[in-house]
């Protein structure tokens, strides 16, 4: 599974609180992604990174920010969580040689 | 913008039935194609991928897919499904030079024992 871990795996929080999700990889892949998965919407890209401190927005970036200070870590922050951000969040990496994405185990976030 | 269409949103089969899930993409240039499977409560796992060469690609667990360039299609097939194939299946396309794949909405497959 390309050495990807996500933490926490489950989180329940309240509206208005900040939340940070962590994606950690062990294989020095350059590209990392954050997706959210919701019923009826499939996978939607939130943000992605193409190197340390190099990030860009995806299709559903409003309300989210990211940071990548080290190759192995890609953080997703919800500055002030809302109920609409209740979702399952997946991190992914892209292997350089085969242009293939591999996904982490996911984080189930519930915002009450 | 590139798009990926999965026409079957829900498929219900009995064990041993044959499976074919449709996938069409819109991009006309060089494209890499993927099928992922997501078992209940789990993350997406790569089933198979096509980059070039033989348009019939074999993946894990007896799945295969055929790339038909003239039809912009990459349909997933399995000759005989099992109860354990119950999952959601996602098709994805990556256009040449891009690093952001486009995913289809997914097809939910339920296999009855």
Q: Does position A97 have pLDDT exceeding 80, yes or no?
A: no
Helix (H, G, I), strand (E, B) or coil at A39: coil
What number of other Cβ atoms are within 10 A of residue A76's Cβ? 23
Split at pLDDT 50, 70, 90, the class of B104 is very high
- Distance separating alpha carbons of residues A28 and A16, to the nearest angstrom: 34
Q: Where are the alpha helices (DSSP H) in A43-99?
A: none
CB contact under 8 Å between B44 and A58, yes or no, is: no
Tokens read off for B93: 């396309």
Digit-coded pLDDT (tens) for B54-72 = 999 999 999 999 999 999 9
Q: Give φ, ψ of A37 to 5 degrees.
A: -125, 125
CA distance A18 to chain B (A): 25
Percentage of chain A lying above the pLDDT 70 cut:
98
CA distance B15 to chain A (A): 26
Digit-coded pLDDT (tens) for A43-63 = 999 999 999 999 999 999 999
* Mean pLDDT for chain B overall: 94
- Distance separating alpha carbons of residues A88 and B57, to the nearest angstrom: 30
- What is the chain A residue with the closest CA to B104? A42
Q: Which chain B residues touch A61 with a CB distance below 8 Å?
A: none
Helix, strand, coil abundance in chain B, percent, nearest 5: 10, 50, 40
Q: Which of B44, B88, B105 to mutate to test the interface with A (most CBs of A within 10 A)?
A: B44
pLDDT recorded at residue B97: 80
CA distance B101 to chain A (A): 8
Q: Which chain B residues touch A103 with a CB distance below 8 Å?
A: 36, 43-45
Q: Which chain A residues touch B105 with a CB distance below 8 Å?
A: 40-42
Digit-coded pLDDT (tens) for B22-55 = 999 998 788 999 999 999 999 999 999 999 899 9
pLDDT recorded at residue B1: 65
Percentage of chain A lying above the pLDDT 90 cut:
88
User: Residue B14's beta-bridge partner residues?
Assistant: B112
pLDDT recorded at residue A74: 98
What number of other Cβ atoms are within 10 A of residue A55's Cβ? 18
- What is the chain B residue with the closest CA to A97? B51
- Distance separating alpha carbons of residues A20 and A56, to the nearest angstrom: 18
On whether the CB atoms of residues A65 and A79 are closer than 8 A, the answer is yes
pLDDT recorded at residue A1: 59
Chain B residue set in contact with A, beta carbons under 8 Å: 32, 34, 36, 42-46, 49, 51, 90, 92, 94, 99-101, 103-106
List, as one string, the DSSP characters of B18-71. Answer: -EEE--EE---S-EEEEEEEE-TTS--EEEEEE-SS-SEEE-GGG-EEEEEGGG
Digit-coded pLDDT (tens) for A19-39 = 999 999 999 999 999 999 998
The 8-class DSSP code of residue B91 comes to E
């Amino acid at each position: 599974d390309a050495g990807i871990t996500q933490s926490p795996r489950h989180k329940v929080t309240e509206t208005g609180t900040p939340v940070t999700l962590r994606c950690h990889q062990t294989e020095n892949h350059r590209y990392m992604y954050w997706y959210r998965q919701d019923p009826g919407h499939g996978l939607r890209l939130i943000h992605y990174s193409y190197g340390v401190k190099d990030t860009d927005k995806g299709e559903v970036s409003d309300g989210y920010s990211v940071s990548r200070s080290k190759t192995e870590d890609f953080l997703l922050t919800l500055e002030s969580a809302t109920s609409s951000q209740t979702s399952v969040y997946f991190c992914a990496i892209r292997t350089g040689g085969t242009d293939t994405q591999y996904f982490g185990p996911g984080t189930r976030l519930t915002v009450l | 913008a590139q798009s990926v269409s999965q026409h079957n949103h829900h498929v219900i089969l009995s064990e041993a039935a044959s499976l074919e899930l449709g996938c069409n993409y819109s991009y006309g240039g060089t494209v890499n194609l993927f099928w992922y499977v997501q078992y209940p409560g789990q993350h997406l796992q790569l089933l198979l991928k096509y980059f070039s060469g033989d348009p019939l690609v074999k993946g894990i667990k007896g799945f295969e897919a055929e790339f038909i360039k003239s039809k912009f299609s990459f349909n997933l097939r399995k000759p005989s499904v099992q109860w354990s194939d119950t999952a959601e299946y996602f098709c994805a396309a990556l256009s040449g030079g891009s690093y952001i794949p486009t995913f289809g909405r997914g097809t939910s497959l339920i296999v009855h024992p």
